[in-house]
Structure 1
Amino acid sequence: MLWIALIDRIGSGLWASVSVLYFTYVTGLSVAQIGTLVAAAGAVGIAGAPLGGRLADRLPLTHVLIALQLLRALASFALLTTDNYALLLAFSAAGSLGDRAANVLTKLYATRVSGPDRVRYQAVNRTVANAGWAVGGLVAAGALTIGTTAAYQWLLAGDAVSFVAVALATARCGEPPSATRTIATSKDSVPATRPASPWRDRTYLAYVATETVLFLDDAVFKVGLPLWIAHSDQAPHGLAPLLMVLNNVMVVTLQVPLARFGATTTAARALLIPLSAVFAIGGLTMALSATGGVVTATLFLTAAATAFTVAEMLHATVSWELSVALAPDTAQGAYLGVHGLAQAVQRSIGPLAVTAAIAAGPLGWPLFGATIALTCLFQHRVVRDRLSHPALSVPPVTVSEH
């Protein structure tokens, strides 16, 4: 699956950095139309996570993944065929739905095949994925120097081809064991109760709600830092892409070493305490970047990017472990699908949260960091009872009970 992650992210890197430019210069959409298209596609994509999770509890996981990758490929190829706005919106929404569902099922696959080593496996997978993003982004940057319609179209075609390649590679992967499907197909075993539903699990839903806030580090790098720098009188505007490079390099080099601090359920929960401090530091250093000249702004913004990157890596480690440890083994797909909503919803509310922090001035960033820090502490408390004493209505987790 690591090679699959690499190919997938190289393709996504080709498209993600030029999608707005493609819709602007190739299909001729206005800024308002592009904004609406991206928002609508993102809204449809939210449904992909729970839908994919439920399908994976009923059908062979690899078969569902192959279908989703082919859906993403068809959606990308279809974008090449039209400049009709309604069709572009429909194809983008289909691709977004497949993307969010495939992300959840890739995590579920890793959970099923890696067992107790799932945190390290996910860390390695994320490192490979980030390397793929970097390679795809570099190729896209080179193509942008050409700047022709054909160059944009070839990048989109490359993204589509990568999904076909991933589907073919997935077809060669073995089907991981599934407690849900084993129970459902066994002639000798009849479940005493219906599989647990995440929608009736108040603890898990509360956990997912806190996860939506903790994923806001993504909006910091995609929207917050670039906008803050763009509206700063002191920060060099060229600093924004350099901080993105810093984020990528740190994730590639440090994600795996940091994963060992959250290798068990108990350790992952304990990691929420230092994570809260790192988020608070990130917000504070962002505010301090507005207190001096160019050198001060550069140093504090670099410190803020470093802090939020560390927070991103620590949260990824915690999230990988707790999202599975809190789920019953007979409904992992459904539960991880609901967990996937956190990241999908964050993509909608994240830009609003960071722009609100910017609009509030320097004091907005400490409040932003403090809000996430308090959410970390709240999550630490929310999951305590479940991890210590699993609820009677929820079957025990498969591995890593402590």
Structure 2
Amino acid sequence: MRLKQYRAAAGERIPGGADGRRMLWISLVDKTGAGLWAATGALYFTYVTGLSVAEVGILLAVSAGIGVAGAPIAGRIADRMPLTRLMTAMQLLRAAAGLALLTSDHYALLLAFAAAGSFGDRATSVLTKLYAARISGPDRVRYQAVNRTVSNIGFAVGGIAAAAALGVGTTLAYQALVVGNALASFVAALLVVRCAEAPVPARVVTGSAAKTTAAKPKSPWRDRTYLLYTASEAVLFLDDAVFKVGLPLWLVHATDAPHGLAPLLLVLNNVLVVALQIPLARYGATSRAARRLLVPLAAAFAGGALALSLSVVGGAWTASAALTIAAVALTLAEMLHSVASWELSIALAPDEAQGAYLGVHALAVSVQRSVGPLVMSAVIATGPAGWALFGACLAATCLAQSRLVRDRLPGPALSVPPTTVSHD
């Protein structure tokens, strides 16, 4: 799809002007490269560099662990230097680390290169979010919805290209995918260079709201409310582990549904996100509205988990129907959480320390990626009751988060002005 179709879908121009549109192209290119690498990484280390399964597992785990530091470090630096320069540097780091993988089969060097790429990847993620928030201003929620839609398309394109190349199965094919991922980062860096520097937002506050804002610590590590919010986000981001690990394993090992349904449910997830993420953005256009989304989000999590627990009842058709309902409900939860998380993570941060705060918030995703598979294994081992308990925990976390952020959000005069998005 061309980007102008998303402008039409939004009923008005993409926020941020030329830089906003350029950032969408950056996201498309960047996520296409990510789609190439996601399907290639483990296989490349296995079939091209000759590592054992255990060595690959350790390499990926350690490099990902080192990469976790990328978000908070880059976020803190972003509050002190031009954002576009830092974004360019991180994209070039990713490109260089990717190409460096082709130069050696030495385990220590491969680990170092993979760790550098992981660091750049996590740093780029938080820097892109910060830049988008600054250039889109009061339309940041709608912009994020468009950006997320474009990112999903890019990742799907990269995955399809990787599948075609991996079908060849030669060393050259694997190497071509690694080069493709590095090239995507390099092109993204060139596009970032053309972006204007985004000004740090200035917020005028008065009255009681001024007291609330002034009370926010400038370091997220000293902000108990924000740290608790980030911890709750790590729980809510588990929807990602459900689709990547929990749902397919549950379908295969615990239900009578045909195994071919598993990839179809992932396709359904992607299609729904592309079709509905932009329309749903209108319901989180202000900080208060984003907080209100936590109630239907709790219901969507609970409903999806309940459908998973009931998928063991009946035959193949009943199981398939229950799993499809679960996939739809959990995709709705994923989209609602994306809208709420995008707005609240920024609204809870003081303007002069947005980078540092968003860097800490990004740790929620990293934590989820580490513990998510373990949580899914425990849920599946517990059986249908495990899914019911899982859904209840997520719903309770939504309600607890709503109460946690209630008194920290800016008043009506400071919130993002409500917007109405046309979808005719």
TM-score normalised by the shorter chain: which range applies? over 0.9
The 2-side partners of 1:208 and 1:247 are apart by 25
**Preserved CA contact (<8 Å) 1:265 1:401:** no
Tell me the amino acid that sits aligned with residue 339 of structure 1. Answer: H
Amino acid at match of 2:276: L
Residue number in structure 1 paired with 2:66: 44
Amino acid at match of 2:29: I
Aligned residue in 1 for 2:361: 339
Deviations 1:240-266 (A, max 9, x none): 211111111111111000111111111
Q: 2:254 aligns with which of 207, 214, 232?
A: 232
Tell me, which stretches of 5 or more residues in structure 1 are unaligned?
181-191, 391-396
For residue 171 of structure 1, report the CA deviation from its aligned partner. Answer: 0.1
1:284 pairs with 2:306? yes
- The residue number in structure 1 matching 2:293 is 271
Q: Secondary structure at the match of 1:176?
A: coil
- Give the corresponding residue for 1:187: none
Match of 2:189 in 1: 167
Q: Shift of the alpha carbon at 1:232? A: 3.2
Kept after mapping to 2: 8 A contact 1:387/1:401: no
The amino acid that maps onto 2:289 is A
| AA of the residue aligned to 1:76 | G
Tell me which residue corresponds to 1:297: 319
CA–CA distance in 1 between the matches of 2:161 and 2:262? 19
Structure 2-normalised TM-score?
Answer: 0.88
Separation in 2, partners of 1:239, 1:85: 38
Q: Which residue of 1 aligns with 2:381?
A: 359
Question: What do the CA deviations read for 1:287-322 (whole angstroms, capped 9, x no partner)?
Answer: 111112111121111111111111010000000100
| Matching residue of 1:185 | none
Listed as ranges, the matches of 1:123-202 within 5 Å are 123-179=145-201, 196-202=218-224
Partner residue in 2 for 1:250:
272
Unaligned runs of 5+ in 2: 1-22, 203-213, 419-424
CA–CA separation in structure 2 for the residues paired with 1:381 and 1:195: 20
The letter for the 1-side match of 2:286 is T
Q: 2:210 matched to which residue of 1? A: none
What is the 5 A alignment of 1:3-18?
A: 3-18=25-40
**Aligned partner of residue 80 in structure 1, secondary structure:** helix
SS of corresponding position for 2:409 = helix
Q: How does 1:42-121 map to 2 (within 5 A)?
A: 42-121=64-143
**Aligned partner of residue 21 in structure 1, secondary structure:** helix
| Residue 221 (1) aligns with residue 243 (2) | yes
| Contact 1:115 1:399 (C-alpha < 8 Å) held by counterparts | no
Aligned-partner SS, 1:268 = helix
Indicate how the Cα distance of structure 1 residues 21 and 230 shifts in structure 2: closer, same or farther if over 3 A, else same. Answer: farther
CA distance change for structure 1 residues 102 and 271 in 2, over 3 Å: closer, same or farther?
Answer: same
Find the aligned partners of 2:388 and 2:254 in 1 and give their Cα distance.
17
Q: What secondary structure does 1:363 align onto?
A: helix
Give the AA of the match of 1:342. A
Question: Offset of 1:235 from its aligned partner?
Answer: 2.2
SS at match of 2:103: coil
- SS, match of residue 383 in structure 1: helix
In 2, the alpha carbon distance for the partners of 1:305 and 1:30 equals 35
Please identify runs of 4+ aligned residues in structure 1 that moved more than 2 A. Answer: 192-195, 397-402
Q: Displacement of 1:398 after TM fit?
A: 7.0
CA contact (8 A) 1:328 1:398 kept: no
| Cα pair 1:285 1:304 within 8 Å, conserved | yes
Distance 1:273 1:39, change over 3 A: same
> Conserved in 2, the CA contact under 8 Å of 1:8 and 1:166?
yes
Question: What amino acid maps onto 1:350 in structure 2?
Answer: G
The corresponding residue for 2:341 is 319
Q: What amino acid sits opposite 1:197 in the alignment?
A: S
- Whether the 8 Å contact between 1:123 and 1:256 is mirrored in structure 2 is yes
Identity over the aligned pairs, expressed in percent? 65
Output the CA distance in 2 between the equivalents of 1:154 and 1:90: 21
Taking structure 1 as the reference length, the TM-score comes to 0.92
Mapped to 2, the partners of 1:243 and 1:206 lie a distance apart of: 33
Question: How far does residue 399 in structure 1 lie from its aligned partner after superposition?
Answer: 5.1
**Aligned partners of 2:134 and 2:201 also within 8 Å:** no
Deviations 1:196-253 (A, max 9, x none): 1111111111111100101000111111112212323512222221111111111111
